Amino acid sequence: MLTIPRPMRSAASKLAVALASTLAFAACQNPDVGEPCTLQWGSDSSLPRPTPTDAKGDYFQSGNPACDDLVCIVSPAAAGSRYADRCTAANGENCGYCSKPCVSNKDCYTSETGLVCDILLPDENFLATLDPAVRERYLGDIAFSSYCVVPR
For 6-42, the pLDDT digits (tens) are 455 555 444 444 444 444 444 445 679 999 999 887 7
Q: What is the pLDDT of residue 130?
A: 82
Average pLDDT score over residue span 105-126 = 88
E strand or H helix at 137, and its extent?
A: helix 132-139
Q: Say which amino acid occupies 95.
A: C
- Measured CA to CA, the distance from residue 127 to residue 144 in angstroms comes to 9
Average pLDDT score over residue span 56-77 = 90
Average pLDDT score over residue span 130-149 = 80
* Spatial contact of 39 and 59, defined as CB atoms under 8 Å apart: yes
Percent of the chain scoring above 70 in pLDDT: 76
Report in angstroms the alpha-carbon separations of 40 from 27, 49, 110, 128, 150.
Answer: 28, 9, 26, 28, 19
Threshold 0.85, pTM exceeds: no
Q: Is 30 helix (H, G, I), strand (E, B) or coil?
A: coil
